[in-house]
């Protein structure tokens, strides 16, 4: 397994690893993430004609994006358990919430990315037994964005709570100065990303606002501008946090090694 190979190497980012063996909670998590990837694959039928093949390849990009997101969640969870080695009740419960969220939102994520890549305005028509029908009904657009926002916020909220729990256990874990900074910094990053997910709720709100009269269109335009401004501010904040982390890590790694206490 990939986790077995990664576990034979110490962390090189200045953060000591406190767990080097696969715990039961991690083994269960690997199985759940593997099942989530399987759900992505079995949703693809083997094409019978070249037309079906080309149509299926249109959804390949959405599959790749969803797979990368799942892989990122898996690696973030792997890093957390390697760094802190926590297996208490709070950690197990939060990890189960994370796994539930991954399984529940894997199909909605793939559907949303597939629609946005092939038809950004979501006005495509699909052939059914009852004739051509819209792939996404206009009244359903806001709910689709809300589902995506809910899953996005839920995942990073769990990671924020996991790091907050690890920070509360800093004395018992024996975190050094850099590890305390990295833990607090991870919480800040997760909070910023959560607010990015909250902005998708605003997008859902925009879909539900009327666009008929000039006054209504003006309200939508102003709200969209404010949303983009907030989103840009969050991106700048994330970049600032990234630069701060690089600076602190570089300074920490440049320090001469200290002798462990006898």
CA distances from residue 149 to 25, 129, 166, 221 in whole angstroms, order as listed: 27, 32, 26, 21
Boundaries of every domain in the chain:
2-190
| Torsion, Cα of 96, 102, 107, 111 (10° steps) | 150
Closest CA to 202 of 151, 142, 156, 140: 142
Q: pLDDT tens digits for 116-172?
A: 666 666 666 666 666 676 766 777 777 877 888 888 899 999 999 999 999 999 999
183 Cβ partners below 8 Å, 6+ apart? Answer: 163, 166, 167, 170, 175
DSSP 126: E
CA distances from residue 123 to 118, 127, 136, 138 in whole angstroms, order as listed: 10, 13, 7, 8
In whole numbers, what is the pLDDT of the chain averaged over residues? 79
Q: How far apart are CA 24 and CA 3, in angstroms?
A: 13
Q: pLDDT tens digits for 55-92?
A: 666 667 777 888 888 888 899 998 898 889 888 899 99
């Amino acid at each position: 397994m990939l986790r077995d190979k990664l576990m034979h190497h110490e962390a090189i980012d200045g953060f000591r690893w406190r767990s080097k063996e696969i715990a039961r909670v991690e083994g269960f998590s690997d199985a759940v993430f593997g099942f989530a990837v399987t759900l992505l694959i079995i949703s693809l039928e083997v094409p019978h004609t070249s037309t079906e093949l080309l149509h299926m390849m249109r959804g390949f990009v959405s599959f790749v994006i969803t797979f990368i997101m799942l892989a990122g969640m898996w690696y973030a969870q792997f890093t957390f358990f390697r760094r802190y080695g926590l297996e208490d009740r709070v950690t197990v419960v939060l990890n189960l919430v994370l796994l539930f969220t991954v399984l529940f939102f894997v199909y909605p994520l793939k559907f949303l990315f597939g629609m946005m890549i092939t038809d950004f305005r979501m006005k495509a028509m699909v052939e059914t037994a009852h004739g051509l029908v819209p792939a996404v009904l206009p009244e359903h657009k806001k709910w689709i964005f809300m589902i995506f926002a809910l899953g996005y916020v839920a995942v990073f909220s769990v990671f924020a709570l996991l790091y907050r729990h690890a920070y509360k256990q800093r004395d018992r874990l024996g975190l050094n100065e850099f590890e305390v900074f990295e833990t607090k910094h991870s919480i800040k990053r997760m909070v910023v990303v959560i607010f990015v997910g909250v902005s998708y709720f605003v997008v859902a709100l925009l879909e539900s606002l009327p666009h008929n009269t000039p006054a209504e269109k003006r309200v939508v335009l102003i709200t969209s501008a404010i949303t983009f401004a907030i989103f840009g501010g969050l991106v700048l904040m994330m970049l600032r946090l990234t630069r701060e982390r690089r600076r602190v890590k570089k300074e920490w790694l440049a320090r001469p090694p200290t002798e462990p206490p006898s």
